């Protein structure tokens, strides 16, 4: 029990320092972008030099970068993400409103991908002489060779513009299917290989000898023992969902974190850009940390 607490504590501490380092890096990378929000406002509204200096002073942009960084980190530690200079609303409110769309898209995509991967892999083991084994390879190759951005554009051209089956803006179905197919491709191949290996185990031969049909053996005996493959891949897949959902939100105009990030970058909205970037980076770190803990707690090979 003590070892588990040490493992969890060490992982949490390491993850916290990693997120802090990424936050500092994000702060300086954001300011590499030429111009700031005052420059944009000046171009759009024709501000005088005096008005620009006053606005920079109000936004704290006249202070040194280390001072700005310290103020931002202190406020963020207190739960204050700042005020969006583009939307004139608290950044926390913007993130709270955008987050449900991103979570819904990511969750739906993962469920679709998981269902497709398990269904195809199991079918390929039950009917090894059918087209399902070839479908396993096809879906796997698709996820490797076809970026979700390109698949999204093809989906828009085919289903939205040519066939006219669905609208472009606010469409949740098509991006979920595209990301889900990508997720399925990452899972289906290793799961199929593990299922085939498990099918040669002695207890499976005993089940055959008892007269159980192949489908029952696969669903009740082989698949449950092979789900560790899915768990092991879940961390990698979940982090991939972060990038995939952002791309689809931009393409299909979904009001999620990705769309908020794009609008913030275009408006040089430093507080919002920083908050969204830290949120995404922190999500990736947290997912990897949780999956690392789960893997070490439940996989004897990784406990040493």
Helix, strand, or coil (residue 264)? helix
Give dist(CA 19, CA 14) in Å, integer: 9
90, β-bridge pairs: 83
Q: Which of 38-52, 229-243, 265-279 has the highest mean pLDDT?
A: 265-279
Q: H helices within the chain, ranges in order?
A: 2-30, 37-45, 49-59, 65-77, 91-126, 132-145, 148-155, 173-198, 202-209, 214-217, 223-252, 257-266, 270-298
**CB atoms closer than 10 angstroms to residue 88:** 7
Lowest mean pLDDT among 13-17, 105-109, 135-139, 254-258: 13-17
The size of the chain, in residues, is 304
Task: Give the number of C-alpha atoms closer than 13 A to the C-alpha of residue 15, restricted to the C-beta side.
Answer: 20
Mean pLDDT score, 71-87: 82
Domains assigned to the chain: 97-268 (1.10.3720.10)
- List, for residues 23-55, the tens digit of each pLDDT value: 888 888 877 766 666 666 666 565 666 766 776
* HSE-up of residue 136 (Cα within 13 Å, Cβ side): 24
First CA to last CA across the chain, in angstroms? Answer: 15
Residue 136 CA to residue 187 CA, distance in Å, equals 10
């Amino acid at each position: 029990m003590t070892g588990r607490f040490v493992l969890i504590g060490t992982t949490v501490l390491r993850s916290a320092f990693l997120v802090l380092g990424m936050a500092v890096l994000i702060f300086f990378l954001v300011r590499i972008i030429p111009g700031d929000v005052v420059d944009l406002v000046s171009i759009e509204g024709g501000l005088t030099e005096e008005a620009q200096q006053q606005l920079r002073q109000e936004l704290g942009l006249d202070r040194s970068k280390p001072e700005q960084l310290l103020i931002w980190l202190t406020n963020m530690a207190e739960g204050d993400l700042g005020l969006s200079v583009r939307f004139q609303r608290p950044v926390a409110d913007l993130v709270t409103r955008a987050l449900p769309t991103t979570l819904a898209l990511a969750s739906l995509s993962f469920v679709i991908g998981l269902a497709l991967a398990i269904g195809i892999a199991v079918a390929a083991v039950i009917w090894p002489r059918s087209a399902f084994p070839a479908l396993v390879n096809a879906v796997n190759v698709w996820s490797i060779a076809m970026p979700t951005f390109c698949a999204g554009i093809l989906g828009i051209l085919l289903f939205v513009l040519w066939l006219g089956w669905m609208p472009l803006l606010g469409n949740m179905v098509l991006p979920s299917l595209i990301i889900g197919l990508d997720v399925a491709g990452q899972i289906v191949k290793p799961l199929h290989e593990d299922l085939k290996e498990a099918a040669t185990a002695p207890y499976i031969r005993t089940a055959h000898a008892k007269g159980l049909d192949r489908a029952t053996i696969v669903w009740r005996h082989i698949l449950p023992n092979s789900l560790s493959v899915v768990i092991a891949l879940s961390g990698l897949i979940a982090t991939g969902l972060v990038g995939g959902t952002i791309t689809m939100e931009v393409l299909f105009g979904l009001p999620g974190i990705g769309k908020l990030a794009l609008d913030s970058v275009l408006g040089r909205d430093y507080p919002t850009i920083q908050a969204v970037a830290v949120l995404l980076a922190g999500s990736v770190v947290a997912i990897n940390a949780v999956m690392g803990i789960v893997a070490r707690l439940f996989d004897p090979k990784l406990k040493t």
